[in-house]
Structure 1
Amino acid sequence: MQTEKVIDHIVKWLKDYATNAKVNGFVIGISGGIDSAVTSILCAKTGFEVLCIEMPIHQPPSHVSRGQEHIQQLKSRFTNVKEVLVDLTPVFEEFKTEVSLDGKQAIVDMALANTRARLRMTTLYYYAGLKGLLVAGTGNKVEDFGVGFYTKYGDGGVDLSPIADLMKSEVYAIAKHLGVVESILNAAPSDGLFGDDRTDEDQIGASYPELEWAMTMIENGKTAEDFEGRQLEVFNLFTRLNRINQHKMVPIPICEIPLLLK
C-alpha cells in the first residue's frame, strides 16, 4: 500500500465531500481505539472543524485514558480540533429502569450493548445538527463488509465512512504513519460495549489477521474444500458471520408495490 498517497486521497475525499455538502466539518466518537484515532486525524488534516466526543458508559479506565491521550495529542497538532465529554452512564442506567430486562442473560447483555452504541449515535447526531457537522464513521473493511461487527443504527449510523475500504492491517499502517499514540497502537482491539476488557477477538472468535485472510480467500474464489484445520474453522466462521449479518450490509428491503395496484 502506498500509505502516504492513500492518506492524501482520503483527506481530499473528505474535503471535497464536506465542501459539496456545505457543512462546517466533522464529529467523531473517540473510543480509545485505532479506528477512531486514525479517522479523527484524517478529518483534522482537512482543515475543517473536528469535534471529538468521548461518550463513556461504564468504560474501562484504560479506554478512557487512551481516548484522552489521543485527543490531547490531536489538539496539540491541529488547531481545528475541539473536544466534548458526554457521560452517558446516567442515561444508560435510566434507560434500563424503563425497559424489561427479562430473558436469557446473554441476550439481554447483547441488547444492552447495542443500546450503548445507539445512545452514542444519538449523541453524535445531536452535536452534528447543533454545529453543522457530518458524523464520520470509524468502521474498517473487515468490520463493515466482512463480518458485520458493528451495531445497526449504532456505530453503523454515520454520514460517511473514510476508512471502510481499508483492511485492519492497513489502518494500522496508516496509524503508524500518522503518529497515533503508542498506547492505542499497542492496545488489543475492543468495542468497549460490555463494560469489561473483552476484546474483538474474544467476541468474534478469530483475530483480524485471520479474518482478513478469510476475506481475501473468498474474494479470490476459494471455498471451504480448499482448507483444513484452523484455516477451515476461520473460513467457515467468516462465511457464517458474513451471511447472518447481511441485513447490516445491504440496503433496507423495500416492499415495492406493482404499478397495476397503484
Structure 2
Amino acid sequence: MLRFEVAISCLNEDIFKIQNNFKNIFNMLNIFIHVIHQVNDNCDYNDVINLLSANSNLRYSRLDRLGLPLSRNFALENCSADLLIPTDSDVVLFYEEFEKISSIFENNSEIDYVTLESFYDPEKLQPRRSFKDTDFTHTKRSLLSVSSIEIVIKVKSFKETKTHWDLDFGLGAKFSGGLETVMLQNAYSNNLQGKFFPIPLSYHRELSTGTEINLRRVFIRSAVFEKIFGKNKGKFLSLLFHVKNFNKFKSLGAMNLIKTIMSNKHI
C-alpha cells in the first residue's frame, strides 16, 4: 500500500476532537497523521498535545498565523508521503477503504488526485450530496461541486506543478468559502488529472457552511466564480446559477441578489 498522510487542520480547542475522531488510524503502518494546530488564544494545550504525540505515527505542528489555506499549504509542503488527505478535526475517515484508494493510484499512474464520497453518518446511509454510481474523469464543471472532505491528492504531482490552496479562499481568509473549489480549478489549469470514484472516504455530521442561505454566501460564491472564470464571465455564471436556483434564494430578494452578484468588491 502507498503511504498516506492525513493532515488534520484544527483551530484552538478543536484539537480535543482528534483523539476520538481519528483513533481508528492511530499507530497504523503506512498511515501518518500530521496535526496542524492554529492557535490564537491563551489556553494551555500541552496535555492533549502530549496525549496525541504518544502515537507513533503522529506529529504535531503549531501555527500562530490563522487561515485554513495556510494550514493546507503547510501540510502539503511538509508532506513526505505518497498521498495526502487534507481534512478537519470534526471529520471521521473510513480507513478500511485506504487499500482500495491506494490501488487506484498504483494502477492508474496518470491520476493526480481523486474525489470520493462523503456522508453524514458512519453507516453510509446518508450521502452529503448526490454521487454518481460510476467513476468519471473530472471536468472544470464537475469540480465545482467537490467538498473539502472528499479529496485525496498525489503529493508529487501537486508539488511539481506548484499547485496550492489560494490564500484568499477558505475559513480565516478574505472569502470564507471556496477553498477546495478554487484549488481544484488550479489543479485543472495545471493539467493535473482527477477522477471521481464511488468509494466512501469520510463522514461529517454537520451541514456544510456552503449550504447556508444568506447574502454573504452569495457574495462568496460569486467571488469563486470570478476567480475561476474571470470577472465578466464569472458574474454572468453566478447570476445564471442563482436564477436557475431562484426558489432556493428568493427569500433574500431578487434585487439584493443582483446587487450582491454584481458587486465590484469580489476580486
Question: TM-score category by the smaller chain?
Answer: 0.3 to 0.5
Q: Name whichever structure is richer in strand by fraction.
A: 2
TM-score (norm 2): 0.35
Q: Name whichever structure is richer in helix by fraction.
A: 1
